[in-house]
Amino acid sequence: MTETPELNDPESLANDLATGQRRALAQAITLVESTRDDHRQQALALLQALAGKPYRQALRIGLSGTPGVGKSTFTEAFGMMLIEHGLKVAVLAVDPSSARSGGSILGDKTRMEHLSRQKNAFIRPSPSQSALGGVARRTREAILLCEAAGYDVILIETVGVGQSETMVADMSDIFVLLLAPAGGDELQGVKRGIMEIADLILVNKADGDLKPTAMRTCADYKGALALMRKRRKDPVGFPRVRPVSAVTGDGLTEAWADISELADWRRQQGVWDDIRKKQAKYWFQQELRAGLMRYLMRDEGLAALVADLSLAVESGEISASAAAATALERFRSKG
Amino acid sequence: MTETPELNDPESLANDLATGQRRALAQAITLVESTRDDHRQQALALLQALAGKPYRQALRIGLSGTPGVGKSTFTEAFGMMLIEHGLKVAVLAVDPSSARSGGSILGDKTRMEHLSRQKNAFIRPSPSQSALGGVARRTREAILLCEAAGYDVILIETVGVGQSETMVADMSDIFVLLLAPAGGDELQGVKRGIMEIADLILVNKADGDLKPTAMRTCADYKGALALMRKRRKDPVGFPRVRPVSAVTGDGLTEAWADISELADWRRQQGVWDDIRKKQAKYWFQQELRAGLMRYLMRDEGLAALVADLSLAVESGEISASAAAATALERFRSKG
């Protein structure tokens, strides 16, 4: 981890956060990102202190875009527009590959030079560590911290490495997929399952020579979406597909209107809270299962047995059920 | 469960299976479907006895089709064609809803009257119980049993309730999606994520008046697939979309050629074994995690704590991480 946070007591840090102090927020996020046990304890205490306080819900927008679609430029332009609307905007980057690749982290921040200078904007690079589980927890907790710090909109953006898109969607109220105009051979194709979790698909670079291609791309994806069942009961026309240009700013206001419309509709229908509750429950189960497995696998004998069994199952020497039964038997006899 | 299997010793049952005795197969499947502890023990012993024996791999074809697409008619026609090719065909139905709805089970068997009369065909209805986990285990084990009994092709068909399609895909070598011709308003849309796990999409009822609609539907889905990244490295043209008619038999030979082509290609590329290994490993992990949770939740105190924590997390009183930490603490202090 980078800087070590001062050992503020959770209560005072929680209070500083509640008053929207950016330094407190940065410090708190560093705390939840720390892997040190004592920091972890403080982080949990801080989250607990915050859970007690009443706060306004932020709009959590997941934003996915592969390198080259102009995600940073879009985030900068979209974020600036929101700030002009008088909103406080936090940007959290999620890039599980950052540990390996060095990450687009500093890149992001420098590429968002206008946004990063705004007092109502807070940009947080992705924690540079590659375990998706760890990234997930830290990001979820960073979201809670930004919310407690009074930010109105939290943009959780990911480059979509591995499962990071579904992960981000599972912690967002609205999930936006940013695409580049493309057709025929250049067409990379949207990653598995992503099209169906998107509430809004934005085709960026709808300007200049690329505009016609962008319009065609929009039509193509509209057609494809029509063949898929909706993820949940949503107003007519969603998931919506719209051309935008982060450079000219075209379509940004409309995209924000789409997001607001969907968010309002879900709040009115009571879907909003259901989604957040489901997400919270899901993350609790994930944390619990992962934690249990970690704890059990600390028993080297059991860990070795499970590893051996896994190989035996892969090679077909033993059935999955029989292998699981064997491991469970060993576990029972110990516990 | 239905009939109680005779208490044959696993070895002899395994041998009867290996000689392809249908009665032994039916009995063995009933055994793995039984929830009685002594039966479970025998089932595991049987699977273990079989794991030792060398056997030819069957082609496991997952087949998903919602009610109304003519799945039974297709299975009957497709199965008969395979039998005319001199192949032994097993049909396993997976319908997690069968417990509730009564299921299309008997229906299936009567609707496949020709196939069910073939000595080289074996049709097994879905176990009537609704827990998907249970259905998954029983189906996976039934697949192993059919394979051991020397069946060349195992059709695992599901009506696609809840997650049953991905479940079936995770135990199949090739996944086939059967669609009905539709356009505009009738269009139901393919369920989330299903289009992207399909290796082959067959649009049924491509005969008579519906043929033009079927051709249009094919074109639509081809277009949509072009916008999605492939699940894995596959030969050009896959996932393939093809019109078929279970009534006239048109396209069935071609569909079988597609499946064989893809299967051969994957075997040559070594992808085939990778997929089976990944699947086996996945199922082992699923069984292990589920088994562990079941075992732990037998501790009423812990189960109650987890339930309370889950509600607290949903209502936002406590963060997912903090709740998981609390539950784990309680677990450690006991274990």
Asked if A141's CB is within 8 angstroms of B51's CB, the reply is no
Q: How far is CA A92 from the centre of its chain?
A: 8
Which residues 12-41 of A are in CB contact (within 8 Å) with B?
A: none
CATH of B55-269, one of 3.40.120.10, 3.40.50.1950, 2.70.98.50, 3.40.50.300: 3.40.50.300
B-interface mutation test, from A66, A146, A287, most B Cβ less than 10 A away: A287
Partners of residue B308 in chain A, C-beta under 8 Å? none
Which residues 95-154 of A are in CB contact (within 8 Å) with B?
A: 137, 140-141, 144
* A and B: number of Cβ contacts within 8 A: 188
What residue ranges do the domains of chain B occupy?
1-54, 55-269, 281-334
Residue B249 confidence class, pLDDT cut points 50, 70, 90: very high
Whether A55 has its CB under 8 Å from any CB of chain B: the answer is no
Q: What average pLDDT does the segment B249-269 reach?
A: 97
Q: How many helices (H) and strands (E) does chain A have?
A: 14, 7
Q: DSSP per residue over A186-205, as a string?
A: S---B-TTTGGG-SEEEE--
Asked if B47's CB is within 8 angstroms of A191's CB, the reply is no
Whether A219 has its CB under 8 Å from any CB of chain B: the answer is no
Dihedral sign, CA of B133, B136, B139, B143? negative
Does the predicted model carry a pTM greater than 0.90? no
Asked if B227's CB is within 8 angstroms of A224's CB, the reply is yes
Write down the mean pLDDT value for chain B. 87
Task: Tell me the C-alpha to C-alpha distance, in Å, between residue A31 and each of A49, A274, B139, B322.
Answer: 14, 29, 47, 14
CATH of A1-54, one of 1.20.5.170, 3.40.225.10, 3.60.20.10, 1.10.540.10: 1.20.5.170
Q: Which residue of B has its CA nearest to A190?
A: B228
How confident is the model over B267-318, as pLDDT tens digits? 999 999 999 999 999 999 999 988 888 888 888 999 999 999 999 999 888 9
Asked if A229's CB is within 8 angstroms of B192's CB, the reply is yes
The pLDDT profile of chain A, 335 residues, written as one tens digit per residue, is: 445 545 568 889 999 998 989 999 999 999 998 888 899 899 999 998 888 777 789 999 999 988 889 999 999 999 999 999 999 999 998 876 654 444 444 455 567 889 989 999 999 987 666 566 678 888 999 999 999 999 999 999 998 766 788 899 999 999 999 999 986 556 667 776 788 889 999 999 999 999 999 999 999 999 888 888 777 788 888 999 999 999 999 999 999 999 999 999 999 999 999 999 999 999 999 999 888 888 888 889 999 999 999 999 998 889 898 999 999 998 888 75
ipTM score:
0.84
Closest approach of A103 to chain B, Cα-based (Å): 23
Reported as half-sphere exposure (CB side, CA atoms, 13 A), residue B93 has a value of 26
* Contact (Cβ atoms closer than 8 angstroms) between residue A124 and residue A33: no
| Token pair of A252 as six digits | 């940004």
The packing angle between helices B320-334 and A132-148, to 10°, is 130
Q: Which residue of A has its CA nearest to B145?
A: A319
Asked if A229's CB is within 8 angstroms of B190's CB, the reply is yes
Among B84, B92, B120, B89, which Cα is nearest to B108's?
Answer: B92
Q: DSSP per residue over A209-277, as a string?
A: GGHHHHHHHHHHHHHHHHTB--SS---TT-SEEEE--TTT-TTHHHHHHHHHHHHHHHHHHTHHHHHHH
| Token pair of A32 as six digits | 């939840």
Give the model's pLDDT for residue A35: 83
pLDDT of residue B222 exceeding 50, the answer is: yes
DSSP A208: G
